[in-house]
């Protein structure tokens, strides 16, 4: 937990009026004074993890040390890296050129709202890199930097070690949530800039361990948590036992089954940590139901046992290397299409990158739900369907028997995860599923949901333990909206469709709104779904008494 | 003293004085009335084209629109076809609204934190930046179009119509064109935000103040000429028509104020392509706005997609085969 700060102390620190009178007028003069502060940064990557994928400059280093053990020609590497990316990404080039610093994005960032640190204004986060772009890559910069005071006129600066450290610090205080991009009149996407920034930092070995180690695990073992195949099966077996105890039905899944209809991929967090585990049990119950009732053949894979992709937070290339497993496994098993579990950034990668990177997926069929006959034309090329699209379709066609009363203790609201909301537009599907499983549902205020949703504060690889002050500050806007509906409507459960959310929002609740807990959408499905041949349930998936059972 | 706005302010003053005294004192009408305007227009056109071609030369490897509404998925779920378009027609409407109505800016909110009372973060609709920006850009556009009167003979009907509408309040003599004062006031509003709003002030650089002062200078000199000093409009039209027809001609009666105005405009043109003002071109090419959100339906091709080393299933099975067999997991090779 945020060891040093209580919620009240954290709130005391918030001030949206940047700059005290003692500070320099121009932020360009504040770079040297940036302190990499415990609680706000993540530990450096372990060299072993960086080596697994052969990424550059693996070594032990510490962000708070003076010497970061950089390659001698690090400036040259970065310069060439920027140059290459300007050619490869039109987004990057345009976003470097067109910002007018209107300030519309300034108070849209959860990290700014939670910390008041002016360098967490999205525009300024981008300016950290833009100031170097202007200095080294524009005509005006090349001329003006030769004149005394010329750099200041343009807002340009040299790529010094201090500037590098400042960029590192702040690019790992961005969760790539894209909220600022919704409000930008030119659609400048800070996520894109952070992605480039981190990719550049990766070139000289400035990774954080919370990203590098999951990446290494995922590459070698198949998932971020490094769960080996037999252990993965053990964990699911454990869920199967729990479900059997609760429902009397054995929901054992299939693994690596060649010729199955559907390959199911979900983030490994759901296998590992509460409350994601209950969501995972929900999947098992759903697939069992569909198998029994309609003969749907779903397989899991221990090789492609990770939906999430921390490679996305490292570099485009690393993202591609990790993502490749999904299509590779679908091809090997000969499935018709892929179904994806509840996860945030996983779905940004699948929706906006996968087919382009590792496609075409012409060895599969256009996804059709064999039970309802619905053809998922929106996934015709990528051949991967989101589980809430799938379940919503089943419910709409009356194919699921749901007993809402088993969720009657839940007064729900829904947290739109950043990536499905702003990198996809998956807004109604999860709500539809929730409302089919739960009676009481209340939305949080409109400026905090749907495309304007606030990040959990721990996305994009920042859900480590050592940066808890940062995480809880970034979580404030979401927590504040949750607290509002908790107080107004008695909301006690925050629904979500993201594995990182399930972990991060639980910590958020504990810290800011202890009266609320977090549930994945398919946990609700798992509770409500009436399995063929089940015994009378007295407990929900959390092994807590079902509503109404206690009194009897 | 804040150098970030004092230097640009001084620069604009000096630029004006340079032209004014150059003409009044040294008789450099040809330089400020012919040579510099031609060079400025050339710099604008060439610079603009180079910049846009530079952007266009960069690849668009991924289709990554920012989605601001419901996606197209199941037939019974209503899609937001404008904020989350999956067709080019939808993208066209989205871009139209973005370019002509500043739709994203329209969403702007202002966050406030109420410590102690409720500890509540609240967000209110913040329309003023949108109003100011819209007023500024449209007033500027009207002013620019109105000025085409100086470069055309006979003046086309559409320009006359704009003039008629711009002067429809029928106040004063010569009649007031609303666009002039609106441009000036809107620019002053945008300037005041930069100075007074602590957040915007923090992010502002000299490069943000300079174009504002330049445009304010242009508006003031323009308004001064039309309503106060009453310059020799016939003479000016001789000069501008000379420029437009490539038969430059310097009239006798036109004074330094006009040349100051023209010089500031020239600076604006020349400065445009190398500055943030290029947002005018950039907005058309912004990949988060001008692409359809149909990546799963239609494959997007990355022109520089390259093969990467991956950890194959075979390597994985080789690594874990014994454990997999023991756990009862299927394997391709038994040993």
What's the token pair of residue A379?
């996934």
A230/B320 CB distance under 8 A: yes
pLDDT class of A19 with cuts at 50, 70, 90: low
Which residues of B fall within a CB distance of 8 Å from A332? 313
Beta-carbon separation of B133 and A17 below 8 A? no
* B interface test, pick of A107, A349, A436 with most B CB neighbours within 10 Å: A107
Comparing CB atoms, the residue among B61, B309, B330 nearest residue A256 is B330
Query: What residues does A264 pair with on adjacent strands?
Result: A339
**Do A257 and B330 make contact, defined as CB atoms within 8 angstroms?**
yes
Res A14: pLDDT: 87
- Can you give the residue ranges of every domain in chain A? 7-207, 215-528
Mean pLDDT score, A94-102: 96
pLDDT at residue number B1: 47
Tell whether A146 is within 8 A of chain B (Cβ). no
Task: Tell me, yes or no, whether B298 and B318 share the same domain.
Answer: no
Cβ proximity of B99 and A392 under 8 Å: no
pLDDT at B3: 78
* B287/A476 CB distance under 8 A: no
Q: What is the pLDDT of residue A21?
A: 58
Nearest CA to B309 among A502, A300, A321? A321
Q: What is the pLDDT of residue A389?
A: 98
Do B104 and B218 lie in one domain? The reply is yes
Q: Tokens standing for B201?
A: 């002030």
- Report which secondary-structure segment, H or E, holds A517: strand A517-520
Same-domain pairing of B79 and B210:
yes
Interface of A with B in 288-307 (CB under 8 A): 302-303
Facing A124 at nearest CB: one of B78, B203, B274 = B203
How do strand B109-114 and strand B120-125 relate by DSSP bridges?
Answer: antiparallel
A99: pLDDT confidence band, cut at 50, 70 and 90? Answer: very high
Q: Are B148 and B161 in contact, with CB atoms under 8 Å apart?
A: no
B315 shares a domain with B300: no
The confidence band for A23, taking pLDDT boundaries of 50, 70 and 90, is low
Q: What is the pLDDT of residues A294-336, one digit of tens each?
A: 999 999 999 999 999 999 999 999 999 999 999 999 999 999 9
Our CA dihedral for A107, A109, A114, A119, rounded to 10 degrees, sits at -80
Which chain A residue shows the shortest CA-CA distance from B324?
A230
Q: Are residues B244 and B332 in the same domain?
A: no
Cβ separation of B70 and A425 shorter than 8 Å? yes
Computed over every residue of chain B, the mean pLDDT equals 94
Give A 496-525 residues with CB within 8 A of chain B.
none
User: Contact A94/B287, CB-based, under 8 Å?
Assistant: yes
The domain in which residue B323 lies consists of: 311-335
User: What per-residue confidence (pLDDT) applies to A103?
Assistant: 95
**Quick one: B138 and B268 in the same domain?**
yes
Confidence of residue A550 (pLDDT cuts 50, 70, 90): low
The shortest CB-CB distance from A392 to any of B74, B305, B330 is to B74
Q: Please indicate whether, in this complex, the C-beta atoms of A140 and B274 are within 8 angstroms of each other.
A: yes
How many residue pairs bridge chain A and chain B with CB atoms within 8 Å of each other? 330
The residue among A17, A25, A97 with the most chain B CBs within 10 A of its CB, best to mutate, is A97
Strands, E assignment, A200-330: 254-255, 262-265, 298-300
Contacts of A422 in chain B (CB under 8 A): 66-68
**Same domain? B133 vs B244:** yes
- Binned at pLDDT 50, 70 and 90, residue A222 comes out as confident
Q: What is the mean pLDDT of residues A122-143?
A: 95
**Both B295 and B331 in a single domain?**
no
Assess A139–B contact: CB distance below 8 Å, yes or no. yes
Chain A residues near residue B327 by CB distance under 8 angstroms: 229-230, 233-234
The string of pLDDT tens digits covering residues B267-314 is 999 999 999 999 999 999 999 999 999 999 999 999 999 999 999 999
| pLDDT single digits (tens) B89-102 | 999 999 999 999 99
A48-92: pLDDT as tens digits: 999 998 999 999 999 999 999 999 999 999 999 999 999 999 999
Based on the fold, state whether residues B231 and B333 are members of the same structural domain.
no
Q: Give the total number of structural domains in chain B.
A: 2
Dihedral angle, C-alpha B157, B162, B166, B170, nearest 10 °: 20
What would the pLDDT profile of A390-419 be if each residue is shown by its tens digit? 999 999 999 999 999 999 999 999 999 999
Partners of B326 on chain A (C-beta within 8 Å) are 230
* Nearest by CB: B66 against A87, A189, A355: A189
Same domain, B176 and B324: no
CA B191 remoteness from chain centre: 16
Across the interface, do B327 and A234 touch by the CB < 8 Å criterion?
yes
The predicted-structure confidence for B86-139, as pLDDT tens digits, reads as follows 999 999 999 999 999 999 999 999 999 988 878 899 999 999 999 999 999 999
Whether B80 has a pLDDT exceeding 70, the answer reads yes
Residue of B nearest to A105 (CA): B108
A102·B133 Cβ contact <8 A:
yes
The percent of residues above 70 in pLDDT, for chain A, comes to 98
Is residue A3 pLDDT above 60, yes or no?
no
For residue A551, the model assigns a pLDDT of 57
Does one domain contain both B183 and B322?
no
- The C-alpha angle A353, A357, A362, rounded to 5 degrees, equals 100
Q: Which of A118, A186, A230 sits opposite B323 (nearest CB)?
A: A230
What pTM does this model have? 0.95
Residues of A in contact with B288 (CB under 8 A): 91, 181, 187-189, 192
Tens-digit pLDDT profile for residues A162-213? 999 999 999 999 999 999 999 999 999 999 999 999 999 999 999 999 999 9
Q: Is A245 on the interface with B (CB under 8 A)?
A: no
Does residue B250 share a domain with residue B315? Answer: no
Burial label, B134 (beta-carbon count in 10 A; 0-12, 13-18, 19+): middle
CB A205 within 8 A of CB A55: yes
Task: Supply the pLDDT for residue A2.
Answer: 47
pLDDT (0 to 100) of residue A150: 87
User: Average pLDDT in the B140-151 region?
Assistant: 96
* Contact assessment for residue A329 and residue A383, using Cβ atoms and an 8 Å cutoff: no
What 3-state class would DSSP assign to A373?
Answer: coil
Check residue A22 and give its pLDDT: 61
pLDDT tens per residue across span B66-78? 999 999 999 999 9
Task: Read off the CATH number of the domain in which B113 is found.
Answer: 1.20.950.20
| Chain B: closest CA distance from residue A398 (Å) | 14
Distance from CA of B92 to the nearest CA of A (A): 15
The predicted model gives B189-213 an average pLDDT of 94
């Amino acid at each position: 937990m945020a060891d040093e700060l209580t919620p009240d102390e954290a709130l005391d620190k918030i001030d949206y009026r940047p700059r005290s009178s003692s500070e320099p007028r121009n932020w360009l003069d504040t770079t040297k004074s940036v302190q990499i502060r415990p609680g706000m940064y993540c530990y450096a990557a372990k060299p072993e993890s960086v080596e697994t994928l052969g990424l550059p400059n693996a070594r032990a280093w510490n962000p708070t040390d003076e010497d970061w053990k950089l390659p001698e020609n690090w400036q040259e590497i970065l310069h060439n890296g920027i140059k290459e990316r300007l050619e490869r990404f039109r987004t990057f080039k345009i976003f470097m050129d067109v910002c007018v610093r209107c300030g519309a994005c300034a108070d849209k960032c959860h990290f700014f709202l939670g910390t008041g640190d002016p360098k967490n204004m999205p525009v300024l986060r981008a300016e950290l890199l833009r100031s170097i772009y202007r200095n080294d890559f524009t005509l005006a910069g090349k001329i003006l930097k030769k004149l005394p005071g010329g750099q200041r006129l343009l807002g340009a600066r040299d790529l010094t070690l201090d500037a590098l450290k400042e960029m590192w610090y702040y690019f790992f205080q961005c969760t790539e949530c894209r909220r600022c991009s919704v409000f930008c009149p030119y659609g400048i996407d800070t996520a894109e800039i952070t992605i480039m920034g981190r990719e550049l930092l990766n070139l000289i070995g400035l990774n954080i361990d919370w990203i590098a180690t999951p990446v290494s695990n995922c590459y070698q073992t198949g998932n971020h948590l490094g769960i080996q195949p037999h252990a993965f099966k053990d964990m699911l077996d454990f869920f199967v036992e729990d479900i059997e105890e609760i429902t009397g039905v054995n929901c054992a899944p299939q693994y690596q089954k060649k010729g199955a209809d559907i390959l199911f991929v979900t983030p490994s967090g759901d296998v590992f940590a509460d409350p994601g585990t209950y969501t995972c049990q929900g999947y098992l119950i759903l697939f069992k139901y569909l198998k029994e009732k309609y003969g749907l053949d779903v397989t899991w894979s221990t090789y492609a046992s990770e939906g999430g992709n921390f490679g996305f937070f490292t570099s485009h290339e690393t993202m591609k290397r990790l993502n490749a497993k999904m299509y590779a496994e679908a091809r090997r098993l000969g499935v018709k299409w892929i179904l994806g579990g509840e996860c945030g950034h996983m779905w940004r990668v699948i929706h906006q990158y996968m087919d382009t990177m590792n496609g075409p997926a012409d060895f599969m069929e256009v996804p059709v739900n064999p039970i309802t006959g619905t053809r998922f034309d929106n996934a015709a090329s990528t051949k991967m369907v989101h589980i809430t699209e799938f379940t919503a379709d089943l419910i709409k066609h009356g194919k699921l028997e749901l007993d809402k009363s088993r969720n009657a203790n839940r007064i729900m609201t829904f947290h739109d995860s950043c990536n499905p909301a702003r990198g996809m537009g998956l807004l109604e599907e999860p709500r539809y599923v929730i409302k089919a499983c739960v009676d009481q549902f209340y939305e949080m205020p409109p400026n905090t949901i749907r495309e304007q949703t606030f990040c959990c504060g721990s996305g994009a690889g920042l859900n480590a333990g050592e940066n808890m002050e940062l995480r809880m500050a970034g979580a404030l806007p979401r927590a504040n909206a949750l607290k509002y509906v908790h107080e107004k409507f008695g909301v006690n459960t925050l629904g979500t469709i993201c594995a990182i959310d399930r972990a991060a929002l639980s910590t958020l609740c504990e810290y800011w709104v202890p009266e609320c807990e977090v549930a994945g959408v398919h946990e609700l499905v798992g509770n409500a779904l009436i399995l063929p041949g089940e015994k009378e349930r007295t407990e929900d998936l959390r092994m807590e008494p079902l509503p109404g059972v206690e009194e009897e | 003293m804040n150098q970030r706005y004092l230097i640009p302010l001084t620069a604009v003053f000096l630029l004006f004085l340079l032209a004014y005294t150059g003409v009044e004192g040294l008789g450099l009408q040809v330089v400020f009335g012919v040579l510099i305007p031609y060079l400025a227009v050339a710099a604008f056109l060439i610079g603009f084209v180079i910049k846009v071609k530079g952007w266009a030369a960069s690849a668009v490897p991924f289709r990554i629109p920012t989605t601001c509404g419901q996606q197209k998925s199941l037939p019974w779920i209503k899609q937001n076809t404008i904020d989350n378009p999956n067709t080019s027609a939808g993208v066209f409407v989205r871009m139209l609204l973005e370019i002509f109505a500043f739709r994203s800016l329209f969403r702007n909110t202002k966050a406030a934190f109420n410590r102690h009372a409720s500890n509540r973060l609240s967000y209110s609709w913040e329309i003023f930046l949108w109003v100011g920006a819209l007023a500024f850009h449209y007033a500027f556009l009207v002013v620019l179009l109105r000025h085409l009167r100086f470069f055309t003979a006979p003046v086309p009907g559409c320009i006359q119509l704009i003039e008629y509408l711009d002067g429809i309040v029928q106040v004063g003599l010569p009649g007031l064109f609303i666009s002039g004062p609106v441009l000036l006031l809107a620019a002053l509003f945008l300037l005041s935000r930069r100075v007074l709003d602590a957040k915007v002030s923090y992010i502002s650089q000299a490069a943000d103040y300079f174009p504002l002062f330049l445009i304010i200078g242009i508006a003031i000199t323009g308004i001064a000429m039309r309503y106060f000093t009453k310059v020799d409009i016939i003479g000016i039209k001789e000069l501008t028509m000379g420029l437009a027809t490539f038969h430059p001609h310097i009239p006798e009666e036109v004074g330094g104020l006009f040349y100051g105005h023209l010089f500031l405009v020239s600076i604006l043109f020349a400065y445009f392509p190398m500055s943030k003002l290029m947002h005018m071109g950039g907005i058309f090419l912004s990949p988060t706005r001008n692409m359809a959100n149909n990546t799963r339906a239609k494959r997007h091709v990355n022109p520089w997609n390259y093969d990467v080393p991956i950890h194959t299933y075979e390597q994985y099975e080789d690594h874990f085969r014994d454990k997999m067999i023991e756990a009862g997991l299927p394997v391709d090779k038994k040993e």
